[in-house]
Structure 1
Amino acid sequence: MGVIRGPSLAPVAGSSATASTSKSAATSSAASTAQSTYNDAAYAYASLTFQEVLEDLSSRFIVNLPAEELSSIERICFQVEQAHWFYEDFLRPINPSLPSQGLRRFSGSLLQASAQTVPLIQQYTSGGALDAVFDDFMRYKTRVPVCGIVLLNTTWDKASCLLVKGWKSSSAWGFPKGKINQSESERDCAVREMLEETGFNCDELLPGNSAEYMELTMREQRIRLYIVPGIEEETRFETLTRKEISKIAWFKLSDLPTWKKQKEPAAGLGGKFYLISPFV
């Protein structure tokens, strides 16, 4: 990718260099303020008990949602999942005394903490049905459409595509993709997931009405992958996520598995391929 050049910082004729100095000082001050705010927040969380953290997360992620969101237990559960990521990725490193919890156990804890304020949740906590709510949510998630992008290089005689590997050592390699958000188009979901997982913004490379995609349905879940060719392999990729993507790499199409021929990633890359052969 070419270097993006900004406007010149040379003083305009008749102006004073003091403006540049003031801007620099303001920027430094803003950065200092932001760091101070983060430090204050980190200090506050470092002294909270688990129950106090649950009450804070309940307020941040659930209680103050719009009324239409609070009328759907599925939408509430998506917020619980977001809160769980925030808890494990940000709060526990700040406060190591907080217990690590899987999504099921954490969901029960946070929903219990939110039940006093959200009438819909009370219906499930009073009947002891939180486990059933979690199981239904996990089944619901598997039916949410998934969108992503197959990024291709510029060399057709050595055609390659970009794959990402999950965070755990046992995670598989797959195309950048993820579940579509409410009211989000398939195309926008694909662009967002590519940006989040690889740091690459292909918004200008993928037309809003693009018909260049592959699509299939597996176990009631629709998967759509858009094709974006012509990307230089020297392009720098860096995930914007935390503890979700561990590696990003180019793979030759000839090295990928197909329905007729199964293959594994090269030694040293770890993991296996996931949902590759249906699209190759």
Structure 2
Amino acid sequence: MAKPKRKGEMEIPNHIMADLCSRFVINSDGNEQHPIRIFYITEHAHWHYIDFYCNEQAELPKCNHKALTKYIFSYLPSLSHFLPKFDAMYQEWTVYKRSIPSYGGILLSPDYKHVLMVQGYTSKTSWGFPKGKVESEESGIECAVREVYEETGIDVEKQIHDAQYLDHWFSEQFTRLYIIPGIQTDSAIQPKLRKEIREYKWMPVEALPTHKNDPITKQSIGIEPNNFFKVIPFVRWVKTS
């Protein structure tokens, strides 16, 4: 399964490719081998490659998900026949992925005066609520519990209620956030996934913006209001509840 190197092309050592492919692709469920579903599998392979290889071996090529996936397709004979239409397939997957619903939680202190905000690892400015995309055969509330736990280390399974939530459409993507009050602000916060969350803070509810030019956020906590652009649709309810 060795992939021949072409001039100017990135090269990942065969033993690393063998590990990634056997760990994530070759031994995956047969139902996951659909050419579109395979991109989800290679997404996990990409995270593993960056976290456990690139961070330890600086000489390795750092590539994005698309580049590594194409490399995997060319490495594995079982996938190489998809290469002529790879770009179109990848574009189809990215469009589909954007349409997948996201679920998460708005974690509020017992007095409703503070809310837990998180900042994604790849983001240097934007803040949001812990949330993520629903997985196959997973309910919305199960997704919310999982995402909150993965991003904060807080288990909200016993506090979450399926009738207490807010919905919003961001373009073509549906987002549902469950209202989860009663979380102590001194709760231990420990994200469970590597390089998932850059920072987290309990912020005053009154400091959150209700529109992109709201001056209260900059005045109160020194952060520009447009750094909360995906929070704004939910803030009005949080402030008036």
Which TM-score band (shorter chain)?
A: 0.7 to 0.9
2:99 to 143, 146, 159: 143
CA distance in 2, matches of 1:262, 1:62: 47
**Equivalence for 1:113:** 75
**Equivalence for 1:248:** 200
**Equivalence for 1:231:** 183
Q: 1:230 to 1:52 in 2, by over 3 A?
A: same
Identity %: 32
* Contact map agreement 2:117 2:202 (CA 8 A) in 1: yes
1:76 to 18, 21, 38: 38
Per the TM alignment, residue 145 of structure 1 is displaced from its structure 2 partner at its CA by: 0.6
1:63 to 26, 49, 63: 26
Secondary structure, in 3 states, of the residue corresponding to 1:84? helix
CA distance in 2, matches of 1:55, 1:255: 50
* Contact map agreement 1:170 1:270 (CA 8 A) in 2: no
Per the TM alignment, residue 68 of structure 1 is displaced from its structure 2 partner at its CA by: 1.5
Map of 1:120-199 to 2, 5 A cutoff? 121-125=79-83, 128-156=84-112, 159-168=113-122, 170-199=124-153
Per the TM alignment, residue 199 of structure 1 is displaced from its structure 2 partner at its CA by: 0.6
Q: 1:88 to 1:149 in 2, by over 3 A?
A: same
**Equivalence for 1:273:** 228
Per the TM alignment, residue 138 of structure 1 is displaced from its structure 2 partner at its CA by: 1.3
Q: Normalising by structure 2, what TM-score?
A: 0.84
1:53 to 16, 33, 38: 16
Per the TM alignment, residue 122 of structure 1 is displaced from its structure 2 partner at its CA by: 3.9
Secondary structure, in 3 states, of the residue corresponding to 2:200? strand
Larger Rg: 1
Per the TM alignment, residue 132 of structure 1 is displaced from its structure 2 partner at its CA by: 1.7
AA aligned to 2:231 is: I
Per the TM alignment, residue 261 of structure 1 is displaced from its structure 2 partner at its CA by: 5.0
Q: Normalising by structure 1, what TM-score?
A: 0.73
CA distance in 1, matches of 2:135, 2:16: 27
* Contact map agreement 1:171 1:271 (CA 8 A) in 2: no
CA offsets per residue over residues 91-127 of structure 1, 9 Å max, x none? Answer: 223333321111221111112212x1x3xx34422xx
Q: Which 5+ residue runs of structure 1 have no aligned equivalent?
A: 1-47
CA offsets per residue over residues 71-90 of structure 1, 9 Å max, x none? Answer: x2221100011100000011
Q: 1:268 to 1:278 in 2, by over 3 A?
A: closer
CA distance in 2, matches of 1:52, 1:252: 50
Q: Which 5+ residue runs of structure 2 have no aligned equivalent?
A: 1-10, 236-241
CA distance in 2, matches of 1:91, 1:109: 16
Q: Across the two proteins, how many residue pairs are aligned to each other?
A: 222
**Equivalence for 2:4:** none
**Equivalence for 1:30:** none
CA distance in 1, matches of 2:93, 2:99: 10
AA aligned to 1:244 is: E
CA distance in 2, matches of 1:221, 1:271: 19
**Equivalence for 1:23:** none
